[in-house]
Structure 1
Amino acid sequence: MEKKVLVTEITANPAPLGLMGFGMTTILLNIHNAGFFPLDAMILAMGIFFGGMAQVVAGIMEFKKNNTFGTTAFTSYGFFWLSLVALNILPVMGLGEAADSLSMAAFLFMWGFFTFFMFIATLRISKALQVVFGTLTLLFFLLAIGNFTGSTLILTIAGYEGIICGFSAIYAAMAQVINETYGKTVLPIGELSAH
């Protein structure tokens, strides 16, 4: 009779990578939204590589760790960033009309709708993720309203709110890295249950 060998796979936590990709790119885009500099190649490059590809990689790694929330969040927001970049560069390449403010409002509203349900899931995970997803839900809805109404003030407020959202993601990422490295809670994240 053949012996069965149980293989235990131990993999690193991909969440900090995904959260950093999201957080840093969100801050840079929202510094633009707050009116400090134009939308340029720096933001687009971050959107493709760190906000986009790094989050998709983190999502695939979460899949391997059997984390449905992490897989859904990182893969979705990675592709959000790639689609946002595409919305900006496809018209320049002659591939479709530029999105008008109404279609951008619809795009941002749908992402806010999705994010609201992801926020509900965070109520069982951690306080840190509640802040990230709560502020992100607000950000998407502010951006949708700003685009729908054409209000520069709402878009500027969204920019500042988005900077807070991005920093909350960076905190959640670095807390996980530092806590894991030190083997104890150095930066609290308010973990509610194992996920």
Structure 2
Amino acid sequence: MIKNSPEAAALAAPAPQVERAAAPVADPGPLGLAAFAMTTMVLSCFNAHVIDARLTAVVLPLALFYGGICQLLAGMCEFKRGNTFGATAFSSYGAFWIAFWLFASHIEPRLPADLAHQAAGLFLLGWSIFTAYMAVAARAVNTATLVLFTALAITFVLLTVGAFSETSAVTVVGGWSGLLTAVIAWGMSFRGVRASTMVNH
């Protein structure tokens, strides 16, 4: 009978599934590093007293959009790539910059003037602790990442001490340490972009 013929069986059989190769995900590292570097550089210029403090508000939009949202997106991409360290770092520091924007623009102005420095110090202390253990973990990544996180940990500690003690000189040193950190991050970002463009060409 026709229904038992090989032709009928072939028609009734499910179509073979064709496996499609997953589209490659670009390395989000250079973007995350660039966003971190630029925002850190601008804020550090004020901490180091390189630029008049009355212009500090210029940091806020950069903190929200580039240092914050762009870096957070880089962190999400690192999750997809299976990079736990990169995902934790970029997502956390993206959240740091968004939190900084909110704190500086909406929270700090409402705090008692004589206690606001303690709130800033507590905020920075938490990030000092996080950065310190990320620096320890960075030993297993590569030397450049270890140097970056060590410099950043030193920066956070200096800014924390400066905030709690209200010692401007310590904050200034922290600002210069932040500028050094930004230079290191920019160098790593440039190396990543250059490596990618050389591979593609």
TM (normalized to structure 1)?
Answer: 0.87
What is the CA deviation profile of residues 120-146 of structure 1, one whole-angstrom value per residue up to 9, with x for unaligned ones? Answer: 121111111111111110011100000
Query: In the alignment, which of 148, 163, 186 is matched to residue 132 of structure 1?
Result: 148
Separation (CA, whole Å) in 1 of partners of 2:56 and 2:137: 34
Query: In the alignment, which of 141, 157, 163 is matched to residue 157 of structure 2?
Result: 141
Query: In the alignment, which of 81, 94, 104 is matched to residue 78 of structure 1?
Result: 94
Tell me the equivalent position of 1:52: 68
Query: In the alignment, which of 31, 52, 62 is matched to residue 45 of structure 2?
Result: 31
What is the Cα deviation at residue 37 of structure 1?
2.3
Separation (CA, whole Å) in 2 of partners of 1:115 and 1:4: 45
What is the Cα deviation at residue 25 of structure 1?
0.5
Tell me the equivalent position of 1:174: 190
What is the Cα deviation at residue 64 of structure 1?
1.1
What is the Cα deviation at residue 7 of structure 1?
3.0
Separation (CA, whole Å) in 2 of partners of 1:3 and 1:28: 53
What is the Cα deviation at residue 180 of structure 1?
2.2
Task: Tell me which amino acid in the other structure corresponds to 2:62.
Answer: M
- 8 Å contact kept, 2:43–2:56: no
What is the Cα deviation at residue 181 of structure 1?
1.7
Query: In the alignment, which of 165, 181, 193 is matched to residue 181 of structure 2?
Result: 165
Task: Tell me which amino acid in the other structure corresponds to 2:52.
Answer: F
TM (normalized to structure 2)?
Answer: 0.84
Relative to structure 2, which stretch is displaced further, 112-121 or 99-108?
99-108
Relative to structure 2, which stretch is displaced further, 83-92 or 102-111?
83-92
- 8 Å contact kept, 2:47–2:175: yes
Query: In the alignment, which of 83, 107, 114 is matched to residue 67 of structure 1?
Result: 83
What is the Cα deviation at residue 6 of structure 1?
5.2
Between Structure 1 and Structure 2, which shows a larger proportion of helix residues? 2
Query: In the alignment, which of 22, 30, 42 is matched to residue 16 of structure 1?
Result: 30
Separation (CA, whole Å) in 1 of partners of 2:21 and 2:131: 36
Cα RMSD of the aligned pairs, angstroms, is: 1.9
Tell me the equivalent position of 1:190: none
What is the CA deviation profile of residues 147-180 of structure 1, one whole-angstrom value per residue up to 9, with x for unaligned ones? Answer: 1111110000101110000110000111111122
Query: In the alignment, which of 116, 119, 124 is matched to residue 108 of structure 1?
Result: 124
- Residue-pair matches, total: 182
Separation (CA, whole Å) in 2 of partners of 1:3 and 1:157: 62
Tell me the equivalent position of 1:191: none
Separation (CA, whole Å) in 2 of partners of 1:56 and 1:15: 11
What is the CA deviation profile of residues 66-117 of structure 1, one whole-angstrom value per residue up to 9, with x for unaligned ones? Answer: 111111111110110011111111148x8x5367111211111110100111
What is the Cα deviation at residue 52 of structure 1?
0.4
* Structure 2 unaligned regions, length at least 5: 1-13
Task: Tell me which amino acid in the other structure corresponds to 1:121.
Answer: A
What is the CA deviation profile of residues 49-72 of structure 1, one whole-angstrom value per residue up to 9, with x for unaligned ones? Answer: 110011011011111111111111
